[in-house]
Amino acid sequence: MDKFQAMQVFTAVVEQSSFTRAAEQLQMPRASVTLSIKQLESHLGTRLLQRTTRQVNTTADGDAYYQRCVRLLADLEETESAFSHSLLNPRGKLRINLQGSLGKSFVVPALPGFSAKYPLIELEVGMSDRLVDLVREGVDCVLRGGELRDSSMIAKRVALMTQITCASSAYLQKHGVPGTLDDLYAHLAVNYFSSQTGRNMDFEFVVNGKTQALPLKGQLAVNDVDAYVAGAEAGYGLIQLPRFHVAAQLAAGSMQEVLSEMRPPPMPVSILYPHHRQLSPRVRVFVEWLTALMEAHADKFRA
């Protein structure tokens, strides 16, 4: 039995919660994955996985062994990189997940530059605004906007985005321009609801250095940034978001900012990755590249 390969197979099964998905990730026959796990459990003399018809879970011993495997595999990758100069020429598949608008507007258009510099890295790019379980889904790193709640990940803040409150010029001509927070109760909003909780997110305003949160009524709620902007353009009411999303509309005059003296707090943008991936040459060079890319766009985020 190849112990190194067995550990790789085991961690893939745990992270994917599936023998089939692990086999696809490792590009191995499913039968080989099953055999590897059986041999590993026999060698260790303990059951590592609990299998049901729907999912695969670790036993207590399996969870402890998984944590050890993750550290050992990360240490091995770091050791190999130190002697093989893999930081100069890293290779392999890199799985990343990008917040949709940031990915489409800034990251994906710039990726050819990264691929030209690191031609042996194969990129697998997912885009979503939902929370991603990096370990379970086998994702190496994510780029997200917003305050971070997952303290189990390494987080690197790479930008702060100016946020504004705005509406279509047609809507403001019809309903008037709010001048105070009290005026907002006479207005409608396009609400943005959380994909995790289903709740509408409050609008936020900084008044005298303190943030005030207000729920606003509306006829339309969405959970996609493009739909959010489209709803405002269609006249459904006020929206609140990073300014770069509507920079073109503001310049054209089809949308207008309101309550500019009470702008929401800036939105942080961060790269997150699991602790065991911090030493991976692929992750290290991508994080460095992405950090530089976000810094290059800093003026657009702060405008």
Q: What is the pLDDT of residues 119-163, one digit of tens each?
A: 989 899 988 766 666 656 667 888 888 877 656 678 889 999 999
The predicted model gives 239-252 an average pLDDT of: 94
Nearest partner of 93 among 64, 70, 115, 116, judged by Cα: 115
The predicted model gives 259-266 an average pLDDT of: 95
The predicted model gives 71-100 an average pLDDT of: 72
The predicted model gives 163-175 an average pLDDT of: 97
The architecture CATH gives domain 3-83:
Orthogonal Bundle (1.10)
The predicted model gives 249-262 an average pLDDT of: 96
Range with the largest mean pLDDT of 5-19, 53-67, 139-153, 236-250: 236-250
Can 3-83 and 92-159+268-302 be said to share one CATH topology? no
Q: What is the DSSP letter of 1?
A: -
Q: Which fold has domain 92-159+268-302?
A: D-Maltodextrin-Binding Protein; domain 2 (3.40.190)
Task: Check pLDDT > 60 for residue 87.
Answer: no
Domain ranges of the chain: 3-83, 92-159+268-302, 163-262
| Dist CA 52 CA 93 (whole Å) | 30
Residue located via tokens 């353009």: 233
| Dist CA 180 CA 69 (whole Å) | 57
pLDDT of 92:
80
pLDDT of 136:
60
Q: Which CATH class is domain 163-262?
A: alpha beta
| Dist CA 178 CA 287 (whole Å) | 42
pTM of the model: 0.68
- For residue 256, CA distances in Å to 31, 185, 232, 236, 263 come to 60, 19, 11, 14, 13
